[in-house]
Amino acid sequence: MPDAKLKSRPIQAQIDLSKLEQNLSVVRRYAPNARIMAVIKANAYGHGLLHAAKALQNADGFAISELDAAIRLRNAGFHHPILLLEGFISTEELAQFKKYQLSAVIHHKMQVEMILASQHKGLDVFIKLNTGMNRLGFAPEEFPYALQSLTTSPAINRITLMTHFADADDPTGGGEVNKQLQCFNTLTAGFSQPRSLANSAAIIRYPQAHHEWVRPGIMLYGASPLTEKTAAELGLQPVMTVSSKLIATQNIKTGDRVGYGGLFQATHPMRIGIVACGYADGYPRHAPTGTPVLVNGQQSHTIGRISMDMLAVDLSHIEENSEINCPVVLWGKGQPVDEIAHSAGTVSYELLCALAPRVKKKFSDT
Ligand SMILES: *Cc1c(COP(=O)(O)O)cnc(C)c1O
């Protein structure tokens, strides 16, 4: 057996759980009158489900997409409401909701029929309205049927009314958000059930959409939900820091090429470093030359194409100790993940969720 302490590669993800807790209190400051359903789908956006849930235990509930993960959460002793964002797709799954006291988003007629045909008791549901996203939810004309059927069903305990915004992150998306908001308000006017609309972006941008339950995801993890503001400007701190080390350096001459396809060609002699981090770790392969990287605490950038296990960085301006073992931060503390996402043409959500299982996580409370 190999020594468990031996690491094959120096890459790791530090998960600072105290930052998760602090970001939760930032959500409370933005939405002081709402209850908070912390969204921990996709392994808590890549941060580790149970560790994240523990750090977020002051939330009023959890929202998640995977039934097996919800059951793990219950079995780990969390007594919060746990909402399955896609509900259930079979009567076998519905039975698990009863067994583990899970709440379900109900967005489709089939689900209503399964509930009406069941012997269920005490099921909490969130009825989802499609107000323009056109992903999940009852069309406005189907809503009275859904609400009426569930209100009168002995299977149901509490009903909450919900919808989801398509454009809350976009500074020019206010028109669309207002359309969705108006559609929702019109349909639900006169009903007394609690309501839930706002994701992270809407929590910050649209206080009029807070209502009884907000559903923050990305902001808990310290990335910005808004396209025009940084996480730091919003008072959010990164939870995950992916770091690695230089495992080689090269001195290259004018005209030398770097990496697969020789995408980068030196226009002057330069020193470069090779970092143990590649797309098999979850670093985006489409990140172009110039994507920011911290080397020994100083700002640098990638050079050439990202490989499976390695990437190259410019060491021209990195003076001290930029030799083998020199520390490198790919994203996190000191290097916002939003910048990497922007450079690679994606969003922080994708980078955080796509952290590869082979990258060891280290959890800390400080
Ligand atoms: C993922 C999700 C959220 C959280 O969205 P963020 O943009 O990460 O805050 C909220 N509501 C629903 C329905 C979701 O699927």
Q: Which of 20, 199, 218 to mutate to test the pocket of ligand 1 (most atoms within 8 A of CB)?
A: 199
Domain that holds residue 72: 17-223
pLDDT digits (tens, 9 = 90+) for 304-359: 999 999 999 999 988 777 889 999 999 999 999 999 999 999 999 999 999 999 99
Long-range contacts of 170-178 (CB under 8 A, 24+ apart): 170/227, 171/226, 171/227, 171/228, 176/132, 177/202, 177/205, 177/206, 177/209
| CA 216 to ligand 1: nearest atom | 9
**What is the whole-number distance in angstroms between the Cα of residue 37 and the centre of ligand 1?**
10
Please check whether residue 5 lies inside any domain of the structure.
no
For residue 7, being part of any structural domain is answered with: no
Out of 180, 215, 236, give the residue to mutate to test ligand 1, the one with the largest number of ligand atoms within 8 Å of its CB. Answer: 215
Q: Is the CB of 137 under 6 A from ligand 1?
A: no
Instruction: Say yes or no to pLDDT of 8 above 80.
Output: no
Task: Find the 307 Cα to ligand 1 centroid distance in Å.
Answer: 32
Same domain, residue pair 55 and 178: yes
* 191 vs 4, higher pLDDT: 191
Mutational test site, ligand 1, from 39, 40, 163, max ligand atoms within 8 Å of CB: 39
Same domain for 76 and 139, yes or no, is yes
54 and 21 Cβ atoms separated by less than 8 Å: no
What pLDDT is attached to residue 1?
A: 59
CA 155 to centroid of chain Cα atoms: 33
- Domain annotation covers residue 235: no
Whether the pLDDT of residue 208 is over 90: the answer is: yes
Asked whether the beta carbons of 249 and 323 are under 8 A apart, the reply is yes
CB of 216 sitting under 6 A from ligand 1: yes
124-170: pLDDT as tens digits: 999 999 999 999 999 999 999 999 999 999 999 999 999 999 999 99
What distances in angstroms separate CA 171 from CA 174, 178, 196, 225, one per listed residue?
7, 13, 21, 11
Q: For ligand 1, is residue 198 a contact (CB within 6 Å)?
A: no
pTM value? 0.96
Q: Is the pLDDT of residue 221 over 60?
A: yes
Q: Give yes or no: residues 79 and 124 share one domain.
A: yes
Q: From the alpha carbon of 128, which atom of ligand 1 is closest?
A: 13
Three-state DSSP class for residue 38: strand
Is residue 85 within 6 Å of ligand 1 at its C-beta? Answer: yes
> What average pLDDT score do residues 246-260 get?
96
Question: Is residue 6 in some structural domain?
Answer: no
Residues known to be catalytic: 41, 260
pLDDT digits (tens, 9 = 90+) for 32-85: 999 999 999 999 999 999 999 999 999 999 999 999 999 999 999 999 999 999
Average pLDDT over residues 96-118: 97
Given a contact cutoff of 8 angstroms between Cβ atoms, the answer to whether 97 and 104 are in contact is yes
Final residue of a domain: which of 173, 189, 223?
Answer: 223
Q: Using a 6 Å cutoff on CB, does residue 222 contact ligand 1?
A: no
In ligand 1, the atom with minimum distance to the C-alpha of 45 is 8
* Burial grade of 255 (CB within 10 A; 0-12, 13-18, 19 or more): exposed
Percent of the chain residues topping a pLDDT of 90: 94
Q: Are residues 160 and 208 in the same domain?
A: yes
- Spell out the alpha helix ranges (H) of the chain: 17-30, 41-46, 49-55, 67-75, 91-100, 109-116, 143-151, 174-188, 200-205, 337-343, 348-353
Question: Could you tell me the pLDDT band of residue 174, with boundaries at 50, 70 and 90?
Answer: confident
* Residue 2 maps to a domain: no
Distance 239 CA to ligand 1 centre (A): 18
CATH no. for residue 262? Answer: 2.40.37.10
Is the shortest distance between the CB of 164 and ligand 1 below 6 Å? yes
Answer yes or no: is pLDDT of 5 > 70: no
The stretch 91-107 carries a mean pLDDT of 97
In 107-266, DSSP assigns E strands to 123-128, 156-162, 195-196, 213-214, 240-252, 257-258, 264-265
Q: How far apart are CA 135 and CA 159, in angstroms?
A: 21
* Residue labelled with tokens 């919808």: 163
Together in a domain, 269 and 217: no
pLDDT at 365: 78
Q: What is the mean pLDDT of the chain?
A: 96
Residue (of 216, 233, 230) closest to 168 by Cα position: 216
Is residue 135 domain-shared with residue 282, that is, in the same domain?
A: no
| pLDDT of 2 above 80 | no
Q: Determine the Cα–Cα distance for residues 85 and 39; give it in Å rounded to an integer.
A: 9
Beta strand pairing status for 103-106 and 123-128? parallel
CA distance 64 to 45: 10
Is 349 domain-assigned?
yes
Q: Helices (H), strands (E): how many in the chain?
A: 11, 18
Interatomic CA distance for residues 329 and 337, integer angstroms: 10
User: 247 with 214, same domain?
Assistant: no
Q: Are residues 137 and 188 in the same domain?
A: yes
Does 366 have pLDDT greater than 60?
no
Nearest-atom number in ligand 1 for the CA of 200 is 9
Domains: count for the chain: 2
Token digits of residue 337: 């993940």
Q: Is 107 in the pocket of ligand 1 (CB under 6 A)?
A: no
Task: Indicate if the alpha-carbon torsion angle 38, 39, 41, 46 is positive or negative.
Answer: negative
Atom of ligand 1 nearest to the CA of 218: 8
Question: Looking at the structure, do residues 311 and 183 belong to the same domain, yes or no?
Answer: no
